[in-house]
Amino acid sequence: MPKLTFFNLDPERRQAVLDASVEEFAKHPYEQASLSRIVDNCGIAKGSMYQYFEDKLDLYLYIVDLAYEQKRAYVGKAFSLEGDIFTVLEEYYWQSHLFAKDFPLLHQVANNFWDSRVLLPQIEEGRIDRARDFSKFLEEAIASGKANPDLDPQAVFFVYHAVGKDLVDEFERGTNGEFIREVLDVLRYGLQVRREV
């Protein structure tokens, strides 16, 4: 967490620090991001940064938090939706996409986070949280006869996690809603031909 000094700051100055930091961590993963570049880009002294934050990691985790806070404001809408698991998933990725469009830099910060090599414990923790949420969701869908009960739930989560991650990456290249729907259709219907009753 930032030190108190940071919150006492002149808002304009504080925003300049945030903007420069977000930009740096959007362009570079944690290990390659440079504090020197950040202070150059917002025109404050190196020493000042250490009045506001404990160290580079403290700043980084704060910025990542900001990004995810904003992202939750978008994707959260999906979960309050009435509808089956397929509707919710489509809305989830659609909201992710809108977030990426509205806050491209925050989106990149959030994405870079998963590639980091120093923060493996935090990343693993996040994965486990998501897996738990997802499996509860999946169980309901199976119970209500919407989802295929023959599939291994762990494997299902694995597939959705992998595809979701790349889908979100793809947003930087201007994916549209149509593509999201087509990708989800692949996951929904499977590659093998269906000869339903």
Number of chain positions touching a second copy (CB under 8 A) = 44
Binding-site partner at residue 165 among DNA, a second copy, none, CB < 5 to 8 Å by type: a second copy
Q: Residue 69: name the closest of 115, 32, 22, 13 by CA.
A: 22
The binder of DNA chosen from 16, 18, 35, 105 (CB under 7 A): 35
Name the residue with tokens 């509205």.
102
Does residue 45 interact with a second copy by CB under 8 A? no
CA atoms within 13 A on the CB side of 15: 3
Q: Which two tokens stand for residue 88?
A: 């919710």
| Ramachandran region, residue 40 (left: φ > 0; alpha: ψ -120 to 50; beta: rest) | alpha
Rounded to whole angstroms, the Cα distance separating 43 from 16 reads 9
Among positions 63-82, residues that touch a second copy (CB under 8 A) are: none
Residues 115-144: x/- map of binding to a second copy (CB under 8 A)? x-x-----------------------x---
Which H/E stretch holds residue 137? Answer: helix 120-143
The binder of a second copy chosen from 5, 15, 32, 87 (CB under 8 A): 32
Does residue 148 interact with a second copy by CB under 8 A? yes
Binding-site partner at residue 148 among DNA, a second copy, none, CB < 5 to 8 Å by type: a second copy
Does residue 170 interact with a second copy by CB under 8 A? yes
